[in-house]
């Protein structure tokens, strides 16, 4: 009960799963929320649900407090893209609203219900956005809009919840979430860091932001330098 406790959304796979594993190994209690089933363990509570629904956000926080007695940090990570590739003229409003609901409204709802307990703990929120908040490819309007919204929501929450709660944002670039994938030289050379990212890269940065007492309202791009490299097409 005395261990610090973190709540992570989208915790069943990808960056979210990497964060769950990282913080468990670091000695934290963890609550993981996802639409995919997960197994609980000694220091892991799981919540099955859609974070775009307020009932899920409320349940996740309540279960965390009931199980661990405190909440010190929140990582908003759950996110989706559209189910299919749509150009602007063809993008169904239903798909637009679905992506906004999970990628942006869900972050607000989790922050809303976690805030009283984070205030008490003098805790922190880390929102996971994307480099798509800063750059785009064709036909990604819904996803890009939500990730830009996450960056803006981050500094708004930082001002509203400060000084008790610090709120920061990570914009990952290419993060490989599959196992045993070999990348080509061309893939690696797109990154000045010399490699594609992995979920632990994001988890380590989130850990820093949770403990960095004078950092709030900021967006940290974690992309191996990819967005800073000029790419010429011959």
CA dihedral angle for residue 163, residue 165, residue 166, residue 170, rounded to 10 degrees? -160
Round to whole Å and give the CA distance between 178 and 47.
24
Q: How far is CA 129 from the centre of its chain?
A: 6
Do residues 74 and 116 make contact, with C-beta atoms less than 8 angstroms apart?
Answer: no
In 112-223 the beta strands, taken as DSSP E runs, fall at 124-128, 166-172, 219-222
Instruction: Just list the catalytic residues.
Output: 143
Sheet holding 124-128, edge to edge: 44-48, 29-34, 5-9, 73-76, 124-128, 166-172, 219-222
Q: What is the CA radius of gyration of the chain?
A: 17
Round to whole Å and give the CA distance between 9 and 16.
7
CA nearest 99: which of 151, 137, 141?
141
């Amino acid at each position: 009960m005395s261990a610090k406790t973190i709540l992570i959304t989208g915790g069943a796979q990808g960056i979210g799963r990497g964060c769950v594993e990282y913080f468990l190994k670091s000695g934290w209690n963890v609550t993981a929320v996802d639409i995919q089933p997960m197994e609980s363990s000694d220091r892991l509570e799981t919540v099955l649900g859609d974070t775009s629904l307020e009932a899920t956000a409320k349940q996740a926080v309540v279960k965390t407090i009931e199980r661990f007695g405190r909440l010190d940090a929140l990582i908003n990570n759950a996110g989706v893209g559209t189910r299919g590739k749509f150009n602007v003229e063809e993008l169904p409003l239903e798909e637009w609203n679905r992506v906004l609901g999970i990628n942006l409204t869900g972050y607000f709802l989790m922050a809303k219900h976690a805030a009283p307990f984070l205030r008490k703990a003098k805790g922190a929120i880390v929102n996971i956005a994307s480099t798509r908040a800063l750059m785009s490819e064709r036909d990604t309007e819904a996803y890009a809009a939500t990730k830009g919204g996450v960056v803006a929501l981050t500094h708004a929450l930082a001002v509203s919840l400060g000084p008790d709660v610090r709120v920061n944002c990570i914009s990952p670039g290419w993060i490989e979430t599959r196992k045993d994938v070999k990348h080509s030289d061309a893939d690696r050379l797109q990154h000045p860091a010399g490699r594609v990212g992995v979920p632990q890269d994001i988890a380590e940065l989130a850990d820093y932001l949770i403990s960095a007492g004078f950092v709030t309202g900021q967006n940290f791009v974690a992309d191996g330098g990819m967005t800073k490299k000029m790419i010429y097409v011959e």
